[in-house]
Amino acid sequence: MDIHVSPIPSSTPGWHSLYHDALFEQDKQKVPEKIACAEKAILNRMKELFNTSGDHIEEDLVLDDALYALRALRTCVQHELLAA
């Protein structure tokens, strides 16, 4: 299987790092901002893959799963913040 990965500038954290930060942020007030940053990075990576030839189905699935998890997290955090 040939997976093409576009380079990401070293000054920009990869989507993995931003995703991890959002999932494990302890301060509920900061979670929505972390989710937004992670989603933006994931969507940017999806755009890169769209413009890249080759087979990247597995990475597409991982990105889709990450977006789904972030949306679920956003819903949970919103309910917690409203209940507080």
Instruction: Give the domain ranges of the chain.
Output: 26-83
**In the predicted model, what is the mean pLDDT of residues 20-37?**
96
Inter-residue contact 16 to 38 (CB < 8 Å): no
**pLDDT value at residue 12:** 56
Residue of 44 and 9 predicted with greater confidence: 44
Q: Looking at the predicted structure, is the pLDDT value of residue 9 above 60?
A: no
d(CA 32, CA 62): 21
Task: State the pTM of this model.
Answer: 0.81
Q: Which pLDDT value is given to residue 13?
A: 73
Q: What is the mean pLDDT of the chain?
A: 87
pLDDT reported for residue 56:
87
